[in-house]
A and B are shown apart, each in its own frame.
Chain A
Amino acid sequence: MVNDMRMLIFFLLTLFSLSSCSFGPDSSDGYSVYFVSAACNYYQTQNQLSGTLCDQYWMDRQFSFLADCAGVEYHNVLLSQGELDSSFTDISGKCFLTVDNVQKEIQKDSFSSELEAQLENLAAAVSSDDILIFHYSGHGLADGSLLLADDKVYDADRLISQLDSISCCKLILLDCCYSASNIDEEGSDSRTDFSSLFRPYESKQTRTWYIAAAQKDQLSYSVTLDDSITGSGNISFGLFSLNVLIRCGLDLGSNGIRTSLPQTGHLTFTWLVNELEKGLYYSGGLSQQFEATDSVRDLVLFSF
């Protein structure tokens, strides 16, 4: 009897030891990260914004650094309206297209068409296990559309449709007003309702994870950090982009702004959202609340 009980206990312990292993997350090998960003400063117009170019610059630097640390290939496609001087101050409204760090000046009037063309190029270039990070820093409209540098409205449905045509996992970071309007809620019907359990499930957005800077009826703001924080003089950032950067590892200190690793071995969408939910740094009481996609799947951006 005693021996039987010992055998039973041993068997149960073995069973639980084996079953307590969990699989994920672990790194995926051999993929590329594409960072696509559009940033507009609306220079010398009544809509002029500060911080958008800084957002793009540091997003590019930080993601490039993380890709390097994770051992994955990195590509950037940057559409920018503006130039930064050495103190990260906007000094012009010129427009540029940067592809894999090769920059050329473009006409302001072709900003929207260049963005569309670059997204179409990516649809052909990416493979299904690549990751696209799309970032926008600029003005947004109440219906979720983006107001680009050439004063053209980049329709929300058009944006979603172009992103859907890119067959890889996508993280969309929208730092603009009313940006949560782009997050599809119709596809997230109630999962806890037994009566609808067997209703066909349809999603309008495939393999796309959104983090929007502001609720559907909210503005998004920029903040200016002084020299004591940046070590590089007063620098403006979009509040949301700044917080994403800090969670992704960007280090602000008296030695200046530096790229560094985040406080996690796996930078995933869910981890980033959970970190942002702890509160926004430097918000100074501003009423801005981000919104993110609800998904039972998590997207692994980088593993270190």
Chain B
Amino acid sequence: MKKTLIILFLLQQTVLHAFSFTPGAAAASALVLSHNLSLEDNSVPVRTSTAVFITLDLASFTFSERHSLCAGLKAGRVSASIIHENTYLLASRRLGSYIAYSCRLGSFSLGCSTAAGFGVTEKQDISFAFVEAGLSGGIFIDSSLLFSLGLDVLYRREFLETHISVSMKLMVPQGVIG
């Protein structure tokens, strides 16, 4: 019992020291390619849209001053697509939660993320669930400002979306809070 308590205490101290509340927010703009997976639209294999997203880190863990793991919320809007053969994809809004890992290498950053959430199409109010995974690479313009490029793949019913994005992330430097 005593040993368990000591282990738990040590674990708690490790987590508390590792954990730093370094909220960050990012804005991203993306080109979205929606690959059709259903029979309903077999003559138009890919549809093109644009998207705008914002992300908000709610919590982050930093290890060895280089690796960080963060979780937060992501919201955005994908525009209506270009018309092909008199049809287009309706615009949609999405909200999800994500977990992201990033590694700082000097002025550069590499990262990956995964997300899940829900969206709703505009006008028809059709809801859908999605899961997402992505890679990103960026450069620190400032100690708290990161410019990055991202490649995300999102899966939802009928569609596999490829998001090619550029984003700017503003972070509270480590140690400022907590």
Chain A contact residues, CB within 8 Å of chain B: 4, 8, 11-12, 15-16, 18-28, 31, 128-129, 131, 167, 169, 187, 191-194, 197-198, 201-203, 205-207, 270-271, 273-274, 294-301
Contact = CB atoms under 8 A, between A and B. Distances in A.
Contacts of B92: 296
B52 A20 contact: yes
A22 B80 contact: yes
Nearest to A14: B29
Given A12-B27, A15-B168, A274-B123, A191 B87 contact: no
A281 to B, nearest CB: 21
- 10 nearest A-B residue pairs (beta carbon): A19-B29, A22-B79, A191-B128, A203-B40, A24-B80, A191-B157, A24-B88, A23-B82, A129-B85, A201-B38
A155 B85 CA distance: 29
A31 B85 CA distance: 9
14 contacts: A15-B166, A23-B79, A23-B81, A25-B88, A28-B83, A167-B43, A192-B118, A193-B129, A197-B156, A206-B41, A294-B126, A297-B87, A299-B86, A300-B88
A192 B168 contact: no
B126 A19 contact: no
B3 to A, nearest CB: 40
B29 A24 contact: no
A139 to B, nearest CB: 30
B142 interface: yes
Contacts of B158: 201, 296
B39 A296 contact: no
Nearest to A196: B157
Contacts, number: 143
Contact of B168 (A4, A11, A21, A25): A11
B129 A270 contact: no
What size tier do the contact residues of chain B reach?
35 or more
Contact of A192 (B51, B123, B129): B129
A194 B116 contact: yes
A277 to B, nearest CB: 10
Given A28-B86, A201-B157, 6 more contacts: A12-B27, A24-B88, A197-B156, A198-B155, A297-B41, A300-B83
Given A4-B142, A201-B38, A297-B88, A16 B129 contact: no
Contacts of A295: 40, 124, 126
A300 B86 CA distance: 5
B127 interface: yes
A197 B157 contact: yes
A11 B126 CA distance: 34
Q: Which of A18, A193, A206, A298 has the most CB of B within 10 A?
A: A298
Contacts of B90: 270, 296-298
A131 B83 CA distance: 14
Q: Which of A23, A28, A167, A187 has the most CB of B within 10 A?
A: A23
A22 B121 CA distance: 15
Given A31-B86, A294-B124, A16 B27 contact: yes
Given A8-B145, A191-B127, A203-B39, A23 B50 contact: yes
Contacts of B39: 201-203, 206
A18 B82 contact: no
Given A8-B145, A201-B157, A297-B90, A25 B128 contact: no
Interface string B28-64: 0110000001111111000011111000000000000
A140 to B, nearest CB: 25
B168 A197 contact: no
B50 A19 contact: yes
Contact of A206 (B40, B51, B141): B40
A20 B166 CA distance: 14
B151 interface: no
A131 B86 contact: yes
